[in-house]
Structure 1
Amino acid sequence: MGLGPVMLDIDGPTLTAEARRSLTHPRTGGVILFTRNFENVAQLSELTAEIHALRDPHLLIAVDHEGGRVQRFRDGFTRLPPAAALGRVYDRDRDQGLQLAERAGWLMAAELRAVGVDFSFAPVLDLAHGLSGVIGDRAFHRQPAAVIALAQAYVRGMRGAGMQAVGKHFPGHGGVREDSHLTLPVDAREFEEIEAHDLRPFAQLMDGTLAGIMPAHVQYSQVDPLPAGFSRFWLQTVLRERLSFSGAIFSDDLSMAGAEHVGGYAARAEAALSAGCDMLLVCNHPEGAAEMLEALETREPDPVAQVRLARMHGQGSAMGLSRLRSRPEWSAAVAVLSPLLTSSSAELNV
């Protein structure tokens, strides 16, 4: 059985009978974990091992674990700085900023891989325009060249730890004030302006650096009436054809308000897949997930999408955090990144 096109969440720290049924559905391909799924390191390791044992090839296990205010697992994991802290160092000392970005990417990925998580939805490639509160200090920098350099270093670190990278939120979420969790943001800029600024980090990392892309639930009104994640122009014409991206495309959460105008969950699934998404995320809405799985039962699997998704499996075994902490690379990464956590959150947040 190949990987299906739906990534679901689960209710708590263990697998219920209902969760097992959903995860063994042929159209399921992955699980996204949240803080509610984490009690401690040992429990999380058991949970990921149990999820992986359900299927062959095993389901993808993902999480949003960027650092700063977006870090799902805390106790027992190293507290990670927000991306903006790395950008601040980069402004003072470019080489040091890049070294720290690589260490941060490695540390984030190494700790997650140690407990069996395949990948984090990272890095954020949005520009820090100073508009978006939901992006804020999750962005590396305002300048595209700085974001490109820092993201390349960060991804080198991730890949060194056996994890593939997913750049988000294509083609850029930083130019709008609204939060797509709550409404559909509208970016009224012309394509040429977006291409000259926000699109540049994505375009520069199309050399195999990124294995995945997550489009934004943002409507770029001067370009296409549909949000990027439902737009063939953005996903096919721009991403696949002009930028020659050959990796996996993950929808942003289809239960967010930014996706509601497309219709019900079955309609959202059809629209996102038709536009070019390979995997659909549906979170915090079990009824919507069930509707989506049922609607996709008769849809033939896409073998090309399955190959793209299979590349997202983590590399190397889950060694456990205790063994990881005994390695000098771990101690060195923690030592150099810890000072960044003393930065004022008021200074870092936009």
Structure 2
Amino acid sequence: MGLGPVMLGLDGWELTAEENNLLRHPLVGGVILFSRNYHSPEQIAALTTAIHALRQPRLLVAVDHEGGRVQRFRDGFTRLPAVRCLGQLYDQDRLRAKQLARVTGWLMAAELRAVGVDFSFAPVLDLDHGVSGIIGDRAFHHDPEAVADLAHAYLSGMQKAGMEGVGKHFPGHGGIAADSHLELPVDERSYQDLAAGDLLAFERMIHYGLAALMPAHVVYPRIDQRPAGFSARWLKDILRHQLEFQGVIFSDDLDMAGATEAGTPPERARAALAAGCDMVLACNDRRAAVAILDHLGHTVDPVSQLRLIRLHGRGRIISERLRNGPLWQRAARLVRDYETAPLLEMDI
């Protein structure tokens, strides 16, 4: 059995009997974890072990763990600053900011890999245009070259710890005030405006070997009338062919308000996959997730399989050994206080 094109959310700290059955469905390929699934590092390690034991190849296990406002696991994990802090440091000392971005990416990824998580949906590649509350300090910077510079360093740290990155939200969510969790945002900018700004960070990261991207539930009507995550124009013509991206394309959560224009949950999933997504996310509505699995009628794509397999975490990190080691201790000290901690030579 291969990896299917659907990623599901879970209800609690342990797998239920229903979830054990759902995760064996051939259309399921992964699990996304949230704060509701987390109690302690030991508990989350047991949960990921149970998920990985269900199938071969093992299901992908993911989480949103960007830092700042978006960090699902907190107690027992290093509190990561919002990446805006790195952007502010970048304006003062670019080399130091990039070194700290690399250390932060490594620390985030190493702590997650030590509890069995394959990847985080990070780094955020949106620009901070000063208008989007949902993006805001989740963005490294307002300058696309600075975003790409810092995100590249951050990704290199993640990869050092055995984790690939997922850039989001293509082609850029930072230029509008509306929140796609609550409504369908519309960005009236032209393709030329996006290409000269927001798209540059994504283009640079594709060149740097980014393994996966997530499109935005945003409509750019001067390019296409469909939201980017349901648009073959954006995903096939621009992302795949024009920008030559060969990695995984994840939909954003199909339960979000910004996805509802595509119809019922199965219709949303079909539309996203037809537009070019390799995997769709059904995070928070179990009835919708079951409907997708029952009615999707999708044939697994062998090319998508090859892309998805690349996202399995590499290597084995033992949590106790990690935290007792000097590398983690120095990295955690730096990340807890970017401003005052001395930057040491580190093998990251």
Scaled by the length of structure 2, the TM-score of the pair is 0.96
Matched residue, 2:48: 48
2:311 alignment counterpart:
312
Relative to structure 1, the CA distance from residue 177 to residue 171 in structure 2 (aligned partners, 3 Å threshold; closer, same or farther) is same
2:2 equivalent to 1:2: yes
Structure 2 CA distance for aligned equivalents of residues 233 and 139 of structure 1: 25
Between 201-210 and 51-60, the greater mean CA deviation after superposition: 201-210
Secondary structure of the residue aligned to 1:186 is coil
Structure 2 matches for 1:122-201, cutoff 5 A? Answer: 122-201=122-201
Partners of 2:207 and 2:191 lie apart in 1 by: 22
3-state DSSP of counterpart to 1:202: helix
Aligned partner of 1:96 in structure 2 is 96
Cα separation, 2, equivalents of 1:57 and 1:120: 19
Gaps of 5+ in 2: 341-348
Residues 155, 209 of structure 1: 8 Å contact kept: no
Q: Does 1:299 align with 2:291?
A: no
1:341 Cα deviation (Å)?
8.8
Using a 3 Å threshold, how does the CA distance of structure 1 residues 91 and 31 change in structure 2: closer, same or farther?
A: same
Instruction: State the SS of the aligned residue for 2:306.
Output: helix
1:234-265 deviation line (CA, Å, top 9, x unaligned): 00011000111000000000000000011001
- Residues 74-126 of structure 1 deviation map (CA, whole Å, 9 limit, x = unaligned): 11100001110010111111100000000010000000000000000000000
> Partner of 2:332: helix, strand, or coil?
helix
CA–CA distance in structure 1, aligned partners of residues 255 and 317 of structure 2: 31
Q: Secondary structure at the match of 1:206?
A: helix
**Superposed CA offset, 1:160-209 (max 9, x none):** 00000000000000001000000000000000000110000100111252
Per the TM alignment, residue 331 of structure 1 is displaced from its structure 2 partner at its CA by 1.1
Q: Check conservation: 1:64, 1:120, Cα contact below 8 A.
A: yes
| C-alpha contact (below 8 Å) 1:80/1:341 kept by paired residues | no
Distance 1:239 1:328 in 2: 41
Q: Which whole-Å deviations, capped at 9, do the CAs of 1:270-297 have from their partners, x for residues lacking one? A: 100000000000111001000101112x
The aligned counterpart of 2:345 is none
Distance (Å, rounded) in 2 between the aligned partners of 1:38 and 1:122: 19
Q: Aligned with 1:251: secondary structure?
A: strand
Identify which range, 277-286 or 324-333, moves more after superposition. 324-333
* Distance in 2 between residues matched to 1:337 and 1:91, nearest whole Å: 18
Figure out how many residues of one structure are paired with residues of the other and give that number: 340
* Alignment match of 1:332 (pick from 327, 330, 333): 330
TM alignment of 1:194-233, pairs within 5 A: 194-233=194-233
Supply the distance in 1 between the matched residues of 2:335 and 2:92 (Cα, whole angstroms).
Answer: 16
Q: 202-211 vs 14-23, which deviates more? A: 202-211
Structure 1 unaligned regions, length at least 5: 343-350
Q: Indicate the percent of aligned positions where both proteins have the same amino acid.
A: 59
3-state secondary structure, aligned to 2:169: strand
> Under a length normalisation based on structure 1, what TM-score does the superposition of the two structures give?
0.96
Q: Counterpart in 1 of 2:107?
A: 107
Q: What's the CA shift for 1:133?
A: 0.3
Residue of structure 2 equivalent to 1:237 = 237
Asked if structure 2 preserves the Cα contact closer than 8 Å seen for 1:165 and 1:209, the reply is no
- Indicate if the aligned counterparts of 1:86 and 1:100 stay in contact, CA closer than 8 A: yes
1:283-298 aligned within 5 A? 283-296=283-296, 298=297
CA contact (8 A) 1:106 1:161 kept: yes
State the distance in 1 between where 2:263 and 2:119 align. Answer: 30
Aligned to 2:262: 262
Q: What is the letter of the counterpart of residue 166 of structure 1?
A: V
**1:340 deviation in Å?**
3.9
Question: In angstroms, what is the RMSD of aligned CA positions?
Answer: 1.0
- Aligned pair 1:30/2:18, yes or no? no
Q: Deviations over 1:292-345 (max 9, x none)?
A: 01112x32210101110110000012422x211122211111111211499xxx
CA distance, structure 1, for counterparts of residue 17 and residue 226 of structure 2: 38
Q: SS of 2:292's equivalent?
A: helix
Listed as ranges, the matches of 1:54-93 within 5 Å are: 54-93=54-93
CA distance in 2, matches of 1:318, 1:299: 36
